[in-house]
Structure 1
Amino acid sequence: MNQEKVTELEKKINNDYSNIAGMVVLKDGKTLYENYFNECTATNRIHVYSVTKSIISILIGIAMDNGHIKSMNQRVLDFFPDYTVKRREKTIQNVTLKNLLTMTAPYKYKFTPYIKYFTSDDWVKFTLDLLGGRGQIGKFRYTPLIGPDILSGILVKATGQSVFDFATENLFSPLGITVESNVFFHSKEEQLAFNKAKNISGWVADRAGVNTGGWGLTLSPTDMAKVGQLYLDGGMWNGKQIVSTRWIDESTKEHSRWEKLNLSYGYLWWIGNDKEHGYAAMGDGGNIIYVNTKKKMVVSIASLFNPRAKDRIEFIKENIEPIFENCE
């Protein structure tokens, strides 16, 4: 490893990517680089925002592997038999699990009703009430916040466990990832404090106890790197199959596309083009789990929230891969 280039990299982080809390680089399963910034250490847990979505994707895959979920083509409402559909509401009845995973489900809201969402007691029901409408099933519509909670609700219904317990048993504990407890907000101030915190280990849940699907999980860069390595290794961890290779292959290939930004999407994973040989879990503020299958590399970056964070994919391709891709 060229120490001079690493020094330059860290200078660039401090100057241009100053909200980075920590970064881990793995190649062939070995840690080539691990460092922390902004007074953070390996023990700090950071809110990784939409990286949470890709964790939900893994849990859906494990639930399928275990027979809790039969098919991607199951209708969403099949999981919620007690949910009452409003009169003349037809679209919602045809939305499938696959539509939710590929962001091709329509919703009734034009502008995200954040305040009503955060102040409601049941985020799954709140979101179900907004599913459907006059939009087109199959057309990509990225829903950063209000949408993925339905997947959390599906996990609860299908497995008979809380998302937290199912994740702990089937993903976090096997990988040695610590997520200590559910996090509940009693005020707007508590939520804002959570977003800035460096020392909260947990997963946000609504008042009904259902964990968030699109945001709200805290992880360390090492935790994130483990998830990336799990996927790079085809779902194997310490000789045990955690999630099937079939699910990984299926969830990391293009199923839909955000035409406006020319971005490919799998099952809650962002997909690179054929030349890039990779995919990523990406969260607001510059949180990322990046996997390059050709170079056998994983890069994880946890970041303190910054609404104008610079592109991490570009940063990794231009500044990180060239330094570490030929290291043994």
Structure 2
Amino acid sequence: MQTTINWHTVKPESIYMNNEKLSKLEHTIKSDYNNINGIVIIRNGNLAYEKYFNGKSPDDCHNVASVTKSVLSALIGIAIDKGYIKSVEEKVLDFFPKYISDVNKQKQQITIRHLLTMTVPYPYEDWNEPLDILCQQQDWIKYTLDIIGGNGEIGAFKYSTAGAHLLSAILTESTGMSARAFANEHLFTPLGMKEIPNNKMNAYGFDDLFGKNVKGWVHDPNGHSTGGWGLTLTTRDMARFGYLYLNNGVWDRKRILSETWIRDSTEMNSNNYGYLWWLRQEDGLFTYSAIGDGGNVICCIPKMNMVVAISSEFIMNPRDRWPLIKYIISAVL
């Protein structure tokens, strides 16, 4: 298997893909998925398809929303590989010794693995996380530590962006670096991506956190890179990240991430959710995906050695990308 991506477009037939089907993608995207900004398809380490829309180009960065979570998962894995963090079984509260509160026994049992798998209890109803309240806090970490362990039992799936932000803080407590700085050194630069600049934030309104002012990697008022959203990537960089996972953590013949971490991160389970990756088993085909609001997706299809990276402009209720990805899968010969 190639250990880097060949960015020169090859003839689809040479990598066993149907050119006629791929040629119809542009029309389908323009008519049915008009908030897609870019799409890159990598097959067998080769660029099978690349197209941009809405005036975007390969150099444009996109706010990839919750795709950030899967990147953060990789950073936790790298930190464990390098010995900064002992294991996913470490207790969350052990990283925050200055945290003082009415700490119950359940809260004391919460581990890094629980944060990675979204199996921590929180006081809100599932899929109704009050992110607006988090974003109004001066100390996002203390707020999140205060609310974890409420309303439920450890082990039940409950999606949480604040929990992913705690992982970013754990990374910083362990390494002395922000997630952005750690990623630049240990993930982005080794993959040939541009370093993410340190953009100081002077305001924390909606546009600064989620909208048109997002650039680089958003951080909280105390400098922690947002763990659950706020990273900007090019579509090619999204594909690079997916291919690193498909290639079992090796890039350019160098080990970036352990094969064990990738296997554990993407192992199928009853929640269809790994270590901040969405898992799908359908019609005998297994895929794992980094998925963000607006239709941002990095879909890895191991059986076909293929990555589909889709960058999108944020809109409410975008059309589901899975039918589009299934069509691309159908183009494999």
Q: Give yes or no for TM over 0.5.
A: yes
Out of 308, 319, 323, the residue aligned to residue 310 of structure 1 is 319
How far apart, CA to CA, are the structure 2 residues paired with 1:175 and 1:313?
Answer: 27
1:52 matched to 2:63: no
Tell me what 2:131 maps to.
Answer: 114
**Could you report, residue by residue, the CA deviation over 1:250-282 in whole angstroms, capped at 9, with x for unpaired residues?**
10113451xxxxxx0110001122722221111
Matched with 2:46 is 30
**Could you say what the CA RMSD is over the residues aligned between the two structures, in angstroms?**
1.8
The match for 2:278 among 270, 277, 288 is 270
2:294 is the alignment partner of 1:285: yes
Count of residue pairs brought into register by the alignment: 313
Does structure 1 retain, via aligned residues, the 8 Å contact 2:72–2:168? Answer: yes
Match of 1:186 in 2: 203
CA distance in 2, matches of 1:271, 1:12: 25
TM-superposed CA distance for 1:4, in Å, is: 4.3
| 1:320 equivalenced with 2:328 (yes/no) | yes
Instruction: Write out per-residue CA displacement over residues 149-196 of structure 1, whole angstroms, 9 at most, x where no aligned residue.
Output: 11001101111211111111000110121222345250425427x524
Q: Say whether the 8 Å CA contact 2:287–2:299 is kept in structure 1.
A: yes
CA distance in 2, matches of 1:129, 1:290: 34
- What is aligned with 2:240? 226
Cross-structure match for 1:125: 142
Secondary structure at the counterpart of residue 25 of structure 1: strand
Q: How far apart are the structure 1 equivalents of 2:135 and 2:63?
A: 17
Show CA shifts across 1:187-215 (max 9, x none). 425427x5246xx6400001100001110
Gaps of 5+ in 2: 1-11, 13-17
State the match for 1:82 in structure 2: 98
Which stretch shows the higher mean deviation, 50-59 or 268-277? 268-277
In the TM superposition, 1:195-210 aligns within 5 A as 195-196=211-212, 201-210=215-224
User: TM-score scaled by structure 2?
Assistant: 0.89
Q: Give percent identity, aligned residues only.
A: 46
Amino acid at match of 1:108: P
- Counterpart check, 1:252 vs 2:269: no
Match of 1:300 among 306, 309, 313: 309
State the Cα deviation string for residues 36-94 of structure 1 (Å, max 9, x = none): 0011001111100110000010000000100111121111101111111226x332111
- Distance between the aligned counterparts of 2:148 and 2:121, measured in 1? 6
For each residue in 1:105-153, what CA deviation from the matched residue of structure 2 results, as whole angstroms up to 9, or x when unmatched? 001234433332112122222211111123110001112x322111001
Change in Cα spacing, 1:54 to 1:127, as seen in structure 2 (3 Å) is same
Query: Matches of 2:268 and 2:21 in 1, distance apart?
Result: 34
With over 3 angstroms needed to count, the CA separation of the structure-2 counterparts of 1:185 and 1:276, relative to structure 1, is: farther
Select which of 123, 138, 145 maps to 2:155: 138
Q: Quick one: which amino acid aligns to residue 49 of structure 1?
A: A
Say if 1:20 and 1:303, in contact at 8 Å, map to a contact too: yes
Q: Structure 1 residues 134 and 184 mapped into 2: Cα distance closer, same or farther (>3 Å)?
A: same
d(CA) in 1 for partners of 2:170 and 2:97? Answer: 11
Matched residue of 1:265: which SS?
Answer: coil
| DSSP-derived class of the 2:237 partner | helix
Q: TM-score, normalized by length of structure 1?
A: 0.90
SS state of the match for residue 189, structure 2? Answer: helix
CA contact (8 A) 1:109 1:130 kept: no
Report the AA paired with residue 163 of structure 1.
Answer: A
Q: Which runs of 5+ in 1 are unaligned?
A: 258-263
Q: Is contact 1:21–1:301 with CA below 8 Å preserved after alignment?
A: yes
* Partner SS, residue 74 of structure 1: coil
CA distance in 1, matches of 2:242, 2:261: 14
Partner of 1:261: none
The aligned amino acid for 2:276 is L
The aligned amino acid for 1:191 is D
